[in-house]
Amino acid sequence: MSFWKKLFGVKEEEPAIDPLVDLVLEKLAPGYLVDYDGRTFEVVARHHHDTGDGFRTDDWELRADGEMHYLNRVEADGVTWTLTRKVPLGFIDERLKSHIQQNGDPPESIEHDGIAYFMQSYGGAQFYRNGRGPALPFLYWDYEDERRERVLTIEQWGDIEFHAYLGNSVEEYQFTNILPGRRG
C-alpha cells in the first residue's frame, strides 16, 4: 500500500475471487462454506502433514450442526479424498490401545461394526497446525474395507495418546456450493 493511501485511509481492494479457479475443494480456507450430503459445513481450520517421503496430506476441519468432521486430500498415484469423524479408540476395539503398546503396531485387519478394515499404509509424519510449525510428530495406520469405500485411521501422538477416525472415501464432485468466508 502506498504512503498516500495509508495517510488518507484508502483501502486497497482485495483481489477478486475467480469462482472457476479459487472456489474449488483443494483451496478451502477457514471461514469458507461447502455443502456435502445435504449439509452445509463451515471450514474451521486447514492443516497439513508430511510423511518425509514426498507425500503430503491436506487436512480440513469442517463443522456442521455442532459436529466436527475431517476432510483429507492425499496426492499419491492420483488424488484421493476422505471424510471422517473422530471417535474414541476404544469405540473401535477396547483392546486396540494395549495391543499397540505391547506390539508397536495395531493388527493388520480390524473388524468394527460388522465391517472388516485392512491396513493399507502406515508410517510417521509431521503435523503442521494451520499449515505452520513447529511440526508435531505422530504415527499413523490407514485402513480400508474391501470395496475401498469405508476408511479407518489410527494415530499415535507420543506414548499414550491415540486418536481414531472413521469415515468414507469421497469424490470431489460430491461437494458443492463452495462459498468464500470473510478474508482477514
Residues 62-112 pLDDT 10s: 999 999 999 999 987 789 999 999 999 999 999 999 999 999 999 999 999
Residue 16 belongs to a domain: no
CB 39 within 8 Å of CB 183: no
- Predicted model pTM: 0.84
Residue 9 belongs to a domain: no
Q: What is the pLDDT of residue 6?
A: 56
State how many domains the chain has.
1
Q: Answer whether residue 7 shows pLDDT above 80.
A: no
Residue 99 belongs to a domain: yes
Q: Report which of residues 174 and 55 the model is more confident about.
A: 174
Mean pLDDT value across residues 31-36: 95
Q: Which domain holds residue 59?
A: 25-179
Please report, for residues 34, 36, 39, 47, 103, the alpha-carbon distance to residue 174 in angstroms, rounded to integers and kept in the order given. Answer: 10, 6, 11, 21, 39
Residue 20 belongs to a domain: no
Mean pLDDT value across residues 131-154: 94
